């Protein structure tokens, strides 16, 4: 699957006043009616248990110039407290999750179903919030183990 080009996003959630985030490229539209998305989260990732407990999550679709953010949120063992200090963000109106200020689009979801699948969980969520900033940049991509962008 490394030869399949994907977009790059950062998933966010929060619990007890602490933000949690992870880089993800397994994001998919599931349904238009009702409007549903899915994300796949490794069961061993610390984000996994928190997002299942909170039941809310955000998807921040990254522009090409956010490569450093994607790398940071993919770093295993980074500190939980203050991990969003490097990124300008605000709270989503529908769920309160962190929404990055500089994104191609941001979606807030409320979990409707969780499907165990091997070493991951497929988390399906109803879209409850959407932001589409006026951003003219290129999309950050992931292909063959490296970040890139559409040209």
Q: What is the pLDDT of residue 5?
A: 85
Give the pLDDT score at 1.
77
The CA-CA-CA angle for residues 63, 43, 94, to 5°, reads: 50
SS (HEC) of 11-64: EEEEECCEEEEEEECCEEEEEECCEEEEEEEECCCHHHHHHHHHCEEEEEECEH
Cα 40 to Cα 27: distance, rounded to the nearest angstrom: 7
- Say which DSSP state 138 is in: P
Buried b / exposed e across 90-126, counting CB within 10 Å, b at 16+? Answer: eebebbebbbbebbbebbbbebeebeeeeebbbbbbb
Q: Give CA separation, 98 vs 14, 26, 46, 81, 115, in Å.
A: 8, 19, 17, 14, 24
**Are the C-beta atoms of 128 and 95 separated by less than 8 Å?**
yes
pLDDT at 139: 93
pLDDT at 136: 67
Query: What's the average pLDDT block by block, 10 residues per block, for the chain (151 residues)?
Result: 86 97 96 98 96 98 96 94 95 98 96 98 98 86 87 65
Tell me yes or no: is domain 6-114+124-149 CATH 2.130.10.10. no
Residue 7 sits at φ, ψ, to 5 deg, of -80, 170
């Amino acid at each position: 699957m490394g030869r399949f080009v994907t977009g790059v996003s950062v998933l966010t959630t929060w619990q007890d006043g602490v933000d949690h985030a992870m880089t993800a490229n397994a994001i998919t539209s599931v349904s238009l009616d009702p409007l549903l998305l899915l994300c796949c989260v490794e069961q061993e990732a610390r984000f996994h248990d928190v997002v299942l407990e909170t039941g809310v999550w955000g998807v921040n679709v990254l522009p090409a110039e956010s490569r450093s953010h994607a790398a940071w949120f993919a770093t295993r063992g980074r500190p939980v407290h203050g991990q969003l200090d490097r990124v300008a963000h605000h709270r989503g109106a529908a769920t309160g999750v962190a929404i990055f200020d500089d994104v191609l689009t941001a979606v807030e979801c409320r979990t409707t179903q969780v499907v165990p699948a091997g070493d991951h969980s497929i988390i399906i969520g109803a879209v409850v919030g959407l932001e589409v900033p006026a951003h003219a940049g290129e999309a950050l991509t992931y292909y063959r183990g490296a970040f890139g962008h559409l040209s």
